[in-house]
Amino acid sequence: TWCTPEKDWDAEVRVLFTFCQKQIRYVRDPHGVDLFQHAKRTIAWKGGDCDDKGAITLGALLLAAGYPIRLRVIQTIESDDWDHIYLLVLLPPGGGPRARWVPLDATVQKPAGWEAPRHYIKRIRDFRVV
């Protein structure tokens, strides 16, 4: 049996999000290197930073399951440059009048839909993924 009912889009996204959040440990990049690794390596090694576990791996899983995604890059107030990335997923995946972009930050122990408070962010930039 499947872990979620058919067409329960919110539940399906939560399962994929929880997998990346709980089964992949947050691990910083090597000192002085901005490392980007393939989703297969992140899953096999069970470790990665925000771009590895959150953007690349969760993004690949969501895209493979038919969900449109966007990448959100932020610069926090204590940083001199862009310093964090996470996803937005469109729910329901087909769009429609009630569609919404839901933030998914798998690097924090917060539920799907949570994102850093606006007063903590200096700049935000979203990127479409096609």
Over the stretch 36-45, which tens digit does the pLDDT of each residue have?
A: 999 999 999 9
pLDDT for 35: 87
Over the stretch 84-114, which tens digit does the pLDDT of each residue have?
A: 999 999 999 999 999 999 999 999 999 999 9
How wide is the angle at C-alpha 96 spanned by C-alphas 95 and 98, nearest 5°? 105
Rounded Cα distance between 13 and 50, Å, is 18
CA atoms within 13 A on the CB side of 46: 3
pLDDT for 53: 94
Rounded Cα distance between 66 and 18, Å, is 18
Query: Which token pair is 80?
Result: 């001199």
pLDDT for 1: 65
How many helices (H) and strands (E) are present in the chain, helices listed first?
Answer: 3, 6
Q: Is the pLDDT of residue 75 over 90?
A: yes
